[in-house]
Each structure stands twice: as structure tokens, then as C-alpha cells.
Chain A
Amino acid sequence: MVISTHILLTIALAPLVGCLLAGFLGRFLGRAGSHSVTILGVAISCALSFYVLYQLTLGGAVAYNQNIYTWFQIGPFNASVGFMVDRLTAMMLVVVSFVSLLVHLYTIGYMHDDPGYKRFFSYISLFTFSMFMLVMSNNFMQLFFGWEAVGLVSYLLIGFWYKKPTAIFANLKAFLVNRVGDFGFLLGIAAVLYFLHTLDYATAFHAAPSLVGKTLQITAGTHWDAATVICICLFIGAMGKSAQVPLHVWLPDSMEGPTPISALIHAATMVTAGIFMVARMSPLFELSPGALSFVLVIGATTALFTGLIGIVQNDIKRVIAYSTLSQLGYMTVALGVSAYSGAVYHLMTHAFFKALLFLGAGSVIMAMHHEQDMRYMGGLRKYMPITWITMWIGSLALCGVPFFSGFYSKDAIIEAVGLSHRWGAGYAYFCVMAGALVTGLYTFRQMYLTFHGKERFSVVASHGHDHHDDHAHHQPGVLSHPPKESPWVVTVPLVLLAIPSLLIGFFTVGPMLFGGWFGSAIHVNAANNVLGELGLEFHGSLAMALHGFTQLPFLLVLTAFAINTYIYLFNPAMAGRIKSALKPLWTVLDRKYWIDNVYFALFATGSVKLGRLFWKVGDTALIDDAMVNGSVGVVHRVAASVRRLQSGYLYHYAFAMILGLILLLGGYWVVGQ
């Protein structure tokens, strides 16, 4: 069985066609036409992605790796557009297209009253195309194309409501922070070309062992290990895209965009591109324990410290956003201990349950007439049972409760870190373990505040007609009519995501995590193979789940559950008391460690000040006034004084002639002497 180029091209291009049709011909297609073509495009991609996955797993097809066309050929250097589709790619294709399809469907309900309806469909299809190009790439050039293209769509979608000042601030910030990461990423690609003389994955990975012993001279006498330089530079790209500390600041602000894209882009797919990339580059990262330790420490820091911020958030989307940051940290930690499969596996389960949580939150937000503050919610479970139940499934998966999909991926990561001897593994183990408690704290708090306890909103009969897209001018906690369950286009995606959130771990953990399912797509040195070591103790998913009930992570989640249950169901006043008792800590978290403030002062304000200094002093004062206009001034003054000689008086000229004669003769006389 061979994977056909036509199928792969169709997977990539079908969403692009949908995007172009909805974007340029939306006027003729109308709203229904626009959502139909885009959904059709993504549905085709989704079906074919499943088919490719089938070919690679059950059909016995070999991995696909071919160039489609030459982008440039300069001397020996080739950059092409081409596809590499192995099991890792196939898994990504299925995850991306499946979540994207459901988000397309969901959008019909969520964006129903939005004037930018067609534009929104065009954008999310463009995103799907870009993400496909990223994951299907067989070379660094196209990877960078996809990398930046998803960043662009993220920029457009965060700023989708372009009249909102916060949205257009957030999208600029997101793009620029990502660009900082891309800056490192590009240097990494340049380093690959320098050391390995190719941009093609397969050739580069094949030549990777030659990096051993090579160094890069940074200054006279300072030499850095080649593999470490390459991997750290590439990972800086991942830190931007996958929002790792200290480049995490853009992700919470990206919640300014509509909720469907928070689910698709800022939770399930785009932000995991960094994780995917590092897993893809495993043959390179395996050469540098130093770089992997760096990855490990960054990931561990992100996992714990961003999760902590989630505990003090009141905006339902922001809680999930911080949870996403924290979970991305888990994936990064897994990469850091060479458990690439674990990272990618958590990427997959997370895509399902986190998309579910975001779409669930979106459903709640719709019911609350675009109110996002959980302080004005409560008791929603009786109004919207489907959203309530599916979100509980997502939450339990997120917390890693045994049998849920998140348990298998997260528990494996924690165990793998425990087994690793890599520098930084001890710190990381503490972080991911404490992170389990933190995850429980913010997740159950969110669920209780939203769905349980007393209703903290009131219903006042509406006057006039309802403004759905009018986000700014409503009174918090006052609804014009009671909340109600969302329409089927919203609930069906929730149910379809709840199923894998619940089940996929149980059925796939054996082969994917411990069975070498990814094959040659992921390369791990035998000495680093913590997942392999872990696999020796694996006796089926049932045993693993039962064992999980006795382990520390589950006990921590249970603790968090107990604390939250007590506070939010039985003693609501206590939340306030804890807050005032821990005021300093609360302030630190509420201010997000002041990182945003520092960045803004340092980079935004600082750059403008520096620019003004350069402009006013460098360009205006030094070059223009002193040199350019200054030399004009000199010419002016010289001309003015020379002009005075031409007075027009005969006796002046006669005097000058006599003076000249005397000087000349005098000169001769002196020389003659």
C-alpha cells in the first residue's frame, strides 16, 4: 500500500480552497454557502487524514517522503515544498482535522449573529491549511512557512473583533512575542544549514551524528557544541509558539479572540506545534543533553508557575488558558526527558479534552450572553446539562483521573520524569507533581463556580431586541432571559470531543506510548529511553489505571477536589478568607509575577524611547543638522565671506594686486636667499 501524493495534496489544499472561496466569493455564496464550502473542505481533509492513518497503521504503508516542487535551488542548496508523512504526521493530521472540523461546525452556532461570519470561516480554514503545511513538511523551509503562517492566522483571529482595543493590542503582542521565538528558530535553521548543508529533514537527520564533536566559535576562545546551539535555537522557536516561560505572555491575552479559535488554535493545535517540532527533531535533540536539560527546566517552570496563576483567575476562558500553558509545560517536560512519544501522546489527549473545555466554556459564555466572569455564574448545571456533563469529562481528563485519557498521558510523563537522570529532572519532578495539585485546584474551582452552587446572576426581562455582539455595554450578572442549553451545532461537537477525552487513552496507551507505534519517526537513544523502561512495568491499560488510584498524583487531585468541594459547595465565604489571609501570594499571582509590566516597560516603552533617541539624536542632530546642513552652512559662510572681496571698488582690487605683487616678490626674495 502506497500513500498517494494526490491524497496528501488534497488534504492540504481542500481547506485552502474553502478559505479562498469563503474569503473572496463570500458575497456570492452567502453565509450558508460560506460555511458549507469551508466545512466541506475540512471534512474532505479529515476523512482523508483518517484514511492515511489507516494506511500507515493497518494498511502497512511505508512513510511518505517526497518533494512536490522546487522552491529554490542555489548551487547545492535546495529548498522544496514537500511532504513527509509518517505515523507522527498522520496522528497530527487526524487531530488537527478532527478538531478543526468540529470547531467549524461549532462556529455556526457560536458566531451566528456576528457580522464577520464569512470572514471567520475563511480564517479558520486558512489556519487549517497552514497547520497541515507545518505538520506535513519534509524540510525546514516549509516548516518555517507553516510556523509563521499559523502565527499570521493567529494574529488575524485574535484581532478578529478589530474594534476592540484589547483585541488589537493582544494580537500585536502575540505576533511580536512569537516573532522573538521565530528569530531563534530561524537562527536554528541557519545553524542546521551551516553544519549539515541541507534543509531537508531526512538528509539532515541522516547526517546528524556528524555533529558530534563539532563546535561553533562564538568569541575568540569560546566554542559551543554544535548540536546544543542548533537545538537551543530551534527550541526558542518552540518556546514562542508553544508559549513557554518566558515567552508565554501572549497566550492568556489571545483569549481576546472568539472562543472557537481559542479551542482550535490556542489550545488544541497551533500552540502544540512547538512540541510536535521538537519531537520531529528528536534525532537532533538526542545529540545534546545540555539542550534537553534546558528544555526540561523551561517546561517544568511553565508547568507549575503558570498553573498557579490559573487558580486566581475569574474569567472562565483565562482559567483554561493558564491551564493550557501549564499542560504545554508538561509536554515540554516530557520532551526534556527524551520521552518524545509521551509528549506527543499528551498533545493528542490534551487536544481533545482542552478543545472540549474551551468549546464548553464557549457554550457557557453564549448562555450567559457573552459574560465570561465566573463570579456572575453558578448553578448552570440545570440549565445546560450537556455542556455540564461534557465539561466534567474534560475536567477529569485534564486532572488525570484514572481511566480518563489525560491520566494515561500525564501519568506517563510524571513517571518518566521520575525515572530520568537528566540534569534538572529532580526540579522537574517536583514541578510536575505539584502541578497535579495545582491542576486540580483551578479545574474544580472553575467547575464549581460555573455549574454548581448558588446562581449569582439575575434575569431581568429584556427591553427591545437583544445585542449579541455588543460585548461592552451590559451590566454584569444581569441577563435579559434565562440561560439555556446551546443548539445542536454546539453540543454535538462537545459530545464528539467528550468521547475521545474519555476513551482514547484506554485504547491507545499500549501501542502509542509503550509499543513503539511511532516507529522511526521518533528517535531515542537507548540510554535515554525512560519510556522504554516504564514500558517494562506496563501490564495493560486497566492495570495502569487501577495502579493510578494509589499513586501520589491522584491523591493530590483528590486533595484538590476535597478542598474545592468544601469551599465552594459548603463554605463559600472561605474563599474570600483564604484570599485575604494569603494576600501577598494572591497579589503575586494576580499580577502574573509582574512579567507583563516588566516586558511592557522594557520592550515596548523602552524600544520607543530608544527609537526616539536614535531618530532625534542620530538622524536629526548628528547627521542632518551637524553634517548635511552643517556643511551647507559652511559653504554658506565661506561664500558669504568670499563674496565680500568682490566689493566692486577699483581701489580694493588695486590694493589687492599690489599686495599680491609684494607677497610674490617677497616670496622670491626669501626663496632666493
Chain B
Amino acid sequence: MFTHLLSLLIWLPVAGAIPVLLAGSARPNLARWLALLVAVLTFVVSLFLLLQYHPDAGGMQLTESYLWIPAWGVHYSLAVDGISVALILMSTFIGILVIVGAWEAIQDRPQQYMAAMLILEGLLIGVFCATDALLFYALFEAILIPMFILIGVWGGPRRVYATLKFFIYTFFGSVFMLIALLYLYQKAGTFDMATLAALPLTMKEQTWIFFAFLIAFAIKVPMVPVHTWLPDAHVEAPTGGSVVLAAVMLKVGTYGFLRFILPITPDAGAHYAWLVIVLSLIAIVYIGYVALVQEDMKKLVAYSSVAHMGFVTLGIFIAFLLVREQGSADMAQLGMQGAMVQMISHGFVSGAMFTCIGVLYDRLHSRQIKDYGGVINAMPWFGFFYVLFALANCGLPGTSGFVGEFMVILASFSANPWIALFAGFTLVIGAAYTLWLVKRVLWGDITNPHVAEMKEINGRETFVLVAFAAAVLAIGIWPQPLVHLMDTSVAQLVQQLAIHKI
């Protein structure tokens, strides 16, 4: 139906931001409705991806390619595989929810906020379908700008510190990626990612390139020990900013692992897999303890994000052990698929958790856990959703949070029982920090008189939470459609791991 579906998906929200901006401060409702219209249209267009993408065929599909910078042979080239499709659909789905979520919460220059959100959405979709390394890099950097604005303009009191920390941290990482890309370019004469993937590289070259990419993407994920920008950024970000940051932007880091480290440096990746695995396990256990003692709800959920993203990196890198040492491509596929499902699931669960915190913040203007207590008495329906997402956050079966973790833990046992032992610890520590939060915020008698005045969620908030709940439960109850969408692509990724370049 569409010949340039991917371009349309990228540019529809970006171009749609212009009329939203033009609506101006004078007509905030017009801006909101226009933004919603653009977001819904983008989502509808993204549904066509499901129709046009053939999961069983595998490979990169819906290819578009135009010469962009002839002097360097840079192309504007796009294509998707099953993993990209899943990530794009998640982004467009959440794109609607952040617009609806900001309806009343953002009163200051709403048209600019909405426009920034739409541009961010378009750029993120671009990252997930770029197949030219320089285009990827350009978009990878460009997403920083709208996020910088979102936090810097609509953020909390320490927003300047948080934005600078966030910007410099990630920018620092991308410099290394740029150097690696330039090296690859002078070697291959192209930025085409498929060509780079096939490029033979010595172990020494692979090692340098591996670490350059690792630094860039590890900061984005974020992995321990370069995670400290995330809690600060989340705390200062407006609710919608936090939702997109946690749900979609973090996935750019792990997506980078899949598109660059796995195909370009498979031997260095296998050699240093243990390093990433250890860092992932530290993220799961150490960050779990750090999350336990947070006094700020947003920080707690931010740390829990770091821990959950640890499962994604773990799932990707145990695949190296399983393929290279155990010769078990099937198990590797299970672990890798778990990592992919965890990416999608974490998008919904963390997005929902941050939305819930936003709902509380809009009413009490505090993120401190101690200011709450007994919220369930005032807001029983909100309590229902909060408990649901909390349970998803601690990986209860029947919710999406379980699926990915289950697969990764099962596969990691085959890689090494010790990995499974540490990874499985999330069952205890994850439940501890999440349900202790629930206990202190939701249960109990009301002690703060302001809590008693909190109003039950309105129709708009209910819509957002119901949408998140539907996604979380759908994946939890029947993950097979999502698994099937990504299955062939995951199998192909695993095959790439097995290829020795030296």
C-alpha cells in the first residue's frame, strides 16, 4: 500500500510537529489535538508494517535507499527486520500515550512540548530502521536534542545539571562510535551496515572497534558503571520525557549492540562476552540493592530500569557463550529472544511505572516515598493499576515482565549455572524493592492529610493506564505473536555470532 512506509513513519511525526508548533500558545487545545492526530496517524501507519513485513522471510525488508552525500558515498537507506518492527510499533504506541498523558500536566507552552515529543518519536523510528551507519549515527545524535529540550525546559529544579550530565555522558560515548565508524569507512569505503558486517577484521582491529562501540552503547543502555546519568535525568524529566526515555531511548543502546557489535566484531564480542555478562549481573544484583534504598520514587524506578536492561545485555551476550563454547544455537536463540522480548516488555512496564508516578506527582507534587502512604484509600482504581505494573516490574508470570526474564534465565543456566544463579536473584531483590515501594506508597492508613484529598484517576489517565495494562497483559498471556514476529531475525542474528572473521 505504501511504497515508502519507513520514510513516512519517520517524517510524518517530524513534519506533523510543524502545524503543532504553529498552533501556538494561544491555542493550546488545537496544538494538543493536532499532536494527538499526528501520533495516532503514525501509529496507524506503523500497523501497516505488520501487514507488509513478512516475519518468516527474515532479512531486512521494505528497503529504501537514496544517495545522500555523494562525496562520501553516504546513503539515506532504511530497512527493517522483525526486531525493528517490534521496536517501532512499541514507539508509536507509546507515542500516543505520552501525548495523552501530557494533556493537562503540561500547561507551559504545550505546543512546543508536543512538537518536541513528535520529533523525538520520528527520530527514534529513524534509528530503528537506518541501515547506513552514518545515517544511524546522525539520528543517534539527533535524538539527544529534543530530549535535551524536554528535560531542560519542562524539567524539575535541577534540570540544568541533569541535562548537561545526560548530554555530555552520551555525547562522550558517541565520539568513540564516530571514530570506530570512520576507521571502518576508510577500510570498507562505505557506511553501508551490511557491507561493514561482512568486512574481515583482525582481532586487534575488532577489539578496538568493540570497545569503542561498547562505550557508546553501554552509556545509552545504560550499563554499570556508566549508568549514573539515568537516575538524575529521570528525576528531573517531565513524566512524558521519562516515559520515552525509559521505554524507547534506552533500547537504542541495546539495538546498537545488535546492529554493530554482533555483526561487525563477533570475535571480539565472543572474547569479551564475559565482561559484558559480569557487568549485566552487577546491574541486576548491585543495582537491585541500590534501588532498594532509594527515597525518591522516580530514582527507584530508574535504578530498576538499569537492572532490567541488564537482562537485555545478558541475554545478548550469553548467546556468544552458548554458540561459541556450548555449540548450542537453539539455547542461544532462546536467550537472545528473551533479550528482545525484555526490551519490548521493559518499554511498556517502565513507561507505565513512570506514568503512575506522574499521576501521583500531579496530585501531590512530591516524588518522595515518605510523603505518601495509604494512597489506595483515596485512589482504589489507581491502586489496581499501580499494583499490576509493580507486579510486572517484579516479573510475575502472566505479565510481560516475566517472559523475557524467564527466557534469559533458562538460557543462561545452559551457558553457566552461576550466571543463572545471579540473574535469578532478581526474583527476590526485584520483588523486594518494588513491593516495598508499593507497601509504603499504596498500603497502610493515610498519614499525610494531603493524600486523603488526592482525586481518583480521571478518564484520560485511565485510558493511558488501560492501554499500558493491555500491552503488559497481552504479552504476558500470549507472547507467541511477538516471538514469532522476531523469531527469524533473532535466528539470523545468532547465525552471525557463529561466523568467525579471523
Contact = CB atoms under 8 A, between A and B. Distances in A.
Given A172-B439, A607-B289, A623 B228 contact: yes
B334 interface: yes
Contact of B409 (A76, A186, A218): A186
Interface string A68-91: 011111111100000000000000
B424 A187 contact: yes
A30 interface: no
Interface of B: 165, 168-169, 225, 228-229, 286, 289-294, 329-330, 333-334, 337, 374, 376-377, 391, 396-398, 402-403, 406-407, 409-410, 412-414, 417, 420-421, 424-425, 427-429, 431-432, 435-436, 439, 442-445, 478-480, 483-484, 487, 490-491
A234 interface: no
B421 A187 contact: yes
Contacts of A190: 409-410, 412-414, 420, 424
Nearest to A161: B443
B157 to A, nearest CB: 18
Contact of B425 (A159, A168, A183): A183
A549 interface: no
29 contacts: A71-B479, A72-B407, A72-B480, A73-B483, A74-B407, A76-B330, A77-B334, A149-B397, A155-B435, A162-B443, A163-B374, A172-B436, A176-B431, A183-B427, A187-B421, A187-B424, A190-B410, A190-B420, A190-B424, A191-B413, A193-B413, A611-B291, A618-B286, A618-B290, A619-B228, A619-B290, A624-B228, A628-B228, A628-B229
B289 A611 contact: yes
A628 B161 CA distance: 12
Contact of A608 (B293, B330, B402): B293
Interface in A596-611: 607-608, 610-611
B337 A218 contact: no
B483 A72 contact: yes
Given A73-B483, A176-B432, A623-B228, A216 B293 contact: no
A71 B424 CA distance: 21
A611 B293 contact: yes
A182 B427 contact: yes
Contacts of B479: 71-72
A72 B341 CA distance: 11
A176 B436 CA distance: 10
A74 B397 contact: no
Nearest to A188: B413
Given A187-B417, A190-B424, A607-B292, 8 more contacts: A69-B480, A72-B403, A73-B483, A74-B330, A75-B334, A611-B293, A618-B286, A628-B229
A145 interface: yes
A39 to B, nearest CB: 23
A205 interface: no
Contacts of A72: 337, 403, 407, 479-480, 483
Given A144-B397, A611-B289, A162 B420 contact: no
Contacts of A144: 397, 406
A612 to B, nearest CB: 5
Contacts of A145: 397-398
Nearest to A77: B334
Enumerate the 8 nearest inter-chain pairs by beta-carbon distance, A residue then B residue, closest first: A190-B413, A611-B293, A75-B330, A611-B289, A145-B397, A611-B292, A168-B443, A162-B443
A183 B413 CA distance: 13
B483 A608 contact: no
A162 B444 contact: yes
A632 B424 CA distance: 37
Contacts of B443: 159, 162, 168
A614 B294 CA distance: 11
A60 interface: no
Given A179-B427, A186-B424, A607-B432, A615 B290 contact: yes
A152 interface: yes
A145 B429 CA distance: 19
Contacts of B334: 74-75, 77
B417 A216 contact: yes
Contacts of A162: 376, 442-444
Nearest to B225: A623
Contacts of A608: 292-293
A632 B172 CA distance: 12
A20 interface: no
Nearest to A632: B168
A165 interface: yes
Contacts of B413: 187, 190-191, 193-194
B427 A186 contact: yes
Interface string A207-222: 0000000001010000
Contacts of B225: 622-623, 627
Contact of A194 (B291, B414, B431): B414
B428 A75 contact: no
A141 B443 CA distance: 31
B448 to A, nearest CB: 15
Nearest to B426: A183
A283 to B, nearest CB: 21
**Residue among A69, A141, A615 having the largest count of chain B Cβ atoms under 10 Å:** A615
Given A75-B491, A183-B425, A165 B391 contact: no
Contacts of A612: 293
Contacts of A176: 428, 431-432, 435
